[in-house]
Amino acid sequence: MTTSEKLSQYVLPTYGRFPIEPSHARGTELWDTDGKRYLDFCNGIAVCSLGHAHPRMLKAIKEQSEKLMHCSNLYQITGQADLAELITEQCVKIPGKMFFSNSGAEANDGMIKLARKYGHERPNEKGESRFEILTFNQSFHGRTIGAMSATGQKKIQQGFAPLLSGFTHLPYNDEHALENAIGDRTVAIMLEPIQGEGGINSATSNFLCTIEKLCEEHDLLLLIDEVQCGFGRTGHLMGWRAFHDSLKPDAISWAKGMGGGFPIGGFWVTDKQTNGKPLSSVLGPGSHGSTYGGNPLACAVSLAVLSEIIEQNLKENVVAREKQIRREIKSWNHPAVKELRGVGLLLGIGLNENEINTPKDVTASIHLCNILAGKGLLIPPAGPSVIRLLPPLNVSEAEVSEALELIRSGLDEAISA
Ligand SMILES: Cc1ncc(COP(=O)(O)O)c(C=O)c1O
């Protein structure tokens, strides 16, 4: 049986998969089992921040796995303490505390639990506990029942009712809708500073200012999902700083680029005094947990990845490569390109669907991804009409030029086919 046949036979068909079988990869390059080379601008969907097989990651994996791969959170885990310190002191730069998970959905579930617990401890004027979380249309927060319920996309939720109650989905960047939706059971606002899966939609600075004001006025927690946009991808260590530098979230979730390809996620909670005690004390002993979360190996790898991003100042490369991409794509004035969305290296090319000869049964974005894979460039779609560029944060100027050449010829092919 081929791998594709075996996957069909033995793995649940939850993913639509491209017909490419990756074999090995180095940096931004990836080879399939037929020996064909690709530039990998998919990167596990914004995961491999340092590209593939980065020497610092490999060293951390080797050294830590030989020393101590796993031990329970019942003990003092050195790397976990070091990673939490680095994230708090050098990335968030606001006093607070971490909880470590294995994925983004789990991290978001943890933030949802934090909000629920806070809403119990800090009821409304009638003495009723508050539990409602306002989230946004087109958001994506993950696939667990909690994170999926927070997600503002019908197609993700379809068929799984009853969902976890207590989420209201509102139009993104709509300040009035948000203000009007706050009720006496509302406890938090949860959002991605840039919606990744939802098509690369950036929050406006005004929207974030309004959120900040409303959180203050109504005693709401501000929960930021940085699973896709965190740790350098926007050209800032924290994604929201690309739009509203002084924003002070109450909690932040991460995964993806945090481990550079090794599974780890987590959320941070502010030490700010709320209800007469630090918010970071709301989830106390026994209130939350994860067997694998924050294990020594995952923490050692994440520590290596984040240290490399900080020490090599990869944010600067992200900003330079974004400029290069914007300049080049603008100069094409290509009929198939409607707009360039996003920030840093979380970019989406919005396609003019009318200009593209899309075959039946696929979207314009999938069609483009197929054409580009044929030419040797891996990129993921974001919705039906956006293709995403998510190269590693250390991608070179030459690699970006090569990818842009391929994209231009792929767009030409898509309109002429
Ligand atoms: C913004 C955001 N939140 C949460 C998730 C879920 O993360 P995971 O797949 O690690 O559970 C994703 C995944 O794409 C995401 O983009």
Is 165 found in the same domain as 80?
Answer: yes
Whether ligand 1 lies within 6 angstroms of the CB of 140 is answered as yes
CATH number of the structural domain spanning residue 25: 3.90.1150.10
Is 263 found in the same domain as 240?
Answer: yes
| CA of 45 relative to ligand 1 center, distance in Å | 10
Domain total of the chain: 2
Using a cut of 0.85, tell me whether the model's pTM lies above it: yes
- Residue pair 79/86 in contact (Cβ under 8 Å)? The answer is no
Is 173 found in the same domain as 24?
Answer: no
- E strand or H helix that includes residue 64: helix 55-67
Q: Strands, DSSP E only, in 21-131? A: 22-26, 29-32, 37-40, 96-101
Is 396 found in the same domain as 290?
Answer: no
Is 115 found in the same domain as 28?
Answer: no
Pairing of strands 386-389, 346-351: antiparallel
Is 164 found in the same domain as 40?
Answer: no
Query: What's the whole-number average pLDDT of the chain?
Result: 97
What length does the chain have? 417
Q: Whose CA is nearest to atom 13 of ligand 1?
A: 142
* The predicted structure's pLDDT at residue 244: 94
Among 288, 311, 334, residue at a domain's last position: 311
Number of CB atoms found within 10 A of residue 111's CB: 30
- Most informative mutation of 47, 148, 197, 238 for ligand 1 (most atoms within 8 A of CB): 197
Is 151 found in the same domain as 94?
Answer: yes
Does the pLDDT of residue 51 top 80, yes or no? yes
Q: How far apart are CA 54 and CA 202, in angstroms?
A: 30
Place of tokens 């491209």: 18
- Most informative mutation of 43, 108, 228 for ligand 1 (most atoms within 8 A of CB): 228
Is 186 found in the same domain as 104?
Answer: yes
Question: pLDDT-derived band of residue 185, with 50, 70 and 90 as boundaries?
Answer: very high
Helical residues (DSSP H) of 87-139, grouped into ranges: 104-121
* The predicted structure's pLDDT at residue 275: 83
Among 269, 285, 311, residue at a domain's last position: 311
Is 230 found in the same domain as 371?
Answer: no
Q: How far apart are CA 208 and CA 260, in angstroms?
A: 28
- Label residue 96 exposed, middle or buried (CB < 10 Å: 0-12, 13-18, 19+): buried
Is 337 found in the same domain as 288?
Answer: no
Handedness of CA 72, 73, 74, 79 (dihedral sign): positive
Tens digit of pLDDT for each residue in 2-24? 999 999 999 999 999 999 999 99
Place of tokens 């918010």: 279
- Residue pair 381/388 in contact (Cβ under 8 Å)? The answer is yes
Q: Strands, DSSP E only, in 148-219? A: 167-170, 186-191, 194-195, 201-202
Percent with pLDDT over 70 in the chain: 100
The mean per-residue pLDDT over the stretch 22-34 comes to 98
* The predicted structure's pLDDT at residue 315: 97
Q: How far apart are CA 80 and CA 95, in angstroms?
A: 17
Q: Whose CA is nearest to atom 16 of ligand 1?
A: 228
| CA of 264 relative to ligand 1 center, distance in Å | 12
Whether ligand 1 lies within 6 angstroms of the CB of 255 is answered as yes
| CA of 395 relative to ligand 1 center, distance in Å | 23
Tens digit of pLDDT for each residue in 92-137? 999 999 999 999 999 999 999 999 999 999 999 999 999 999 999 9
Does the pLDDT of residue 417 top 70, yes or no? no
* The predicted structure's pLDDT at residue 180: 98
Question: pLDDT-derived band of residue 71, with 50, 70 and 90 as boundaries?
Answer: very high
Identify the domain containing residue 368 by its residue range.
Answer: 3-54+313-416
Two tokens, residue 29: 């390059």
- E strand or H helix that includes residue 410: helix 397-416
Is 288 found in the same domain as 224?
Answer: yes
Whether ligand 1 lies within 6 angstroms of the CB of 132 is answered as no
- Residue pair 161/148 in contact (Cβ under 8 Å)? The answer is no
| CA of 106 relative to ligand 1 center, distance in Å | 9
Among 311, 333, 353, residue at a domain's last position: 311
* The predicted structure's pLDDT at residue 42: 98
